[in-house]
Amino acid sequence: MVTVSGHGPWPGGEDDVLEAQQVVLGDLAELPTGVGAVPFLVQLAGRGPGADATGRTAALLADLSVELGPHGWKLADRPGLDLRRAEAFRREDLGALAIAAYGYAGPFALEVVGPWTLAAQLYAARGDRVLADRGARRDLAVALAEGLREHVAEVRAQVPGAEVVVQLAEPLLGQVHAGVLPTFSGYSRLRAVPGPEIVEGLRPVVDAVHDAGATAVVHLGATWVGVPPAVLAGADAVGLDLGGLGPEGWNERAWELVARAIEKGVSLWAGLPPAKVSQCAGPLLGELVRTVAEPWRRVGLPAGGLDAVTLLSAPRAQPASADDHRAGLANLGRVAEALAERAAA
């Protein structure tokens, strides 16, 4: 069945964690009949440093400490206040989850920053981005793998019925591969990372997630570059923000790679932009349906395969209100219903 999920980031402050988690679980439980749902752990980045995506993922790194530096998060010699704050946010989130999801059984998604984007965003204790040092980024991937193994176990302990799905967000993977990220000084660019090395960096994380009993979903952003490495690294699904691929989500190279992945048994998580709204007709959901269905047809995939697609809202550059997020989930439910009808036709 066509499924609906979302990313973790959610607007709100420190007092809204439990409420936000209850809203997500409640709204996804009310999707149209015949549409599946994958609730997700909310991330309220508005609480400050340590609640942001990079900080909360960096705080998972096993045997590595992090702190805030002049350019953002960096490795540290010893644990400090910044790390303790991030860990406290995680405990708070898990506590809220245990209450909101009491008795829940079914798929449940966690989103973390993937190893390549994390290596691009995180700086060494005294030096450039971790990405600049091949040994350091290898150590980072291993530390993230072990930290994720523990995080999956934490979530399963809070919600014993959860079938954990891990989304590895890799929005900078295309830039890592292209070699366009600036160095610490800004006067040069970091060396491009070839495809085989990208696979090597993803594999230990994907393997650890599998070992922990979860399903790995690699979210690649609006670029097709990471699709082959994700498949080769053993991911169960790949994600693409279809709204960034061109008119009606069409990019021939991207969809050819998606088709090959699907033929290998890898599923698609399709990120969709917010629905355009007409003053007369309301949300123009037909455009979102076509963004998935038309490229699917053009690349020669069978219509029945649409039934295995998961829809999620693409990340937004600007934070939206909780009402916008809730409306987005409801719209995705109606889009999923339409796709399910096409799959059954």
Neighbours of 277 (CB within 10 A): 12
Structural domain of 333: 3-344
pLDDT on residue 70: 87
pLDDT on residue 322: 81
Model pTM score: 0.94
pLDDT on residue 7: 86
pLDDT on residue 244: 78
Buried b / exposed e along 231-263 (16+ C-beta atoms within 10 A) = bbbbbbbbbbbbbebeebbbbeebbebbbebbe
Q: Extract the runs of DSSP E, i.e. beta strands, from 77-222.
A: 105-113, 161-169, 215-219
pLDDT on residue 345: 80
pLDDT on residue 159: 97
DSSP letter for each residue of 124-157: PTTSSBGGG-HHHHHHHHHHHHHHHHHHHHHHHH
Q: Which residues of the chain have pLDDT under 70?
A: 12-15, 248, 279-282, 316-319
pLDDT on residue 245: 81
Kindly report the CATH number assigned to the domain that includes residue 24: 3.20.20.210
Q: Write out pLDDT tens, residues 34-57.
A: 999 999 999 998 899 999 999 999
Q: Write out pLDDT tens, residues 86-140.
A: 999 999 999 999 999 999 999 999 999 999 999 999 999 988 999 999 999 999 9
| Number of domains making up the chain | 1
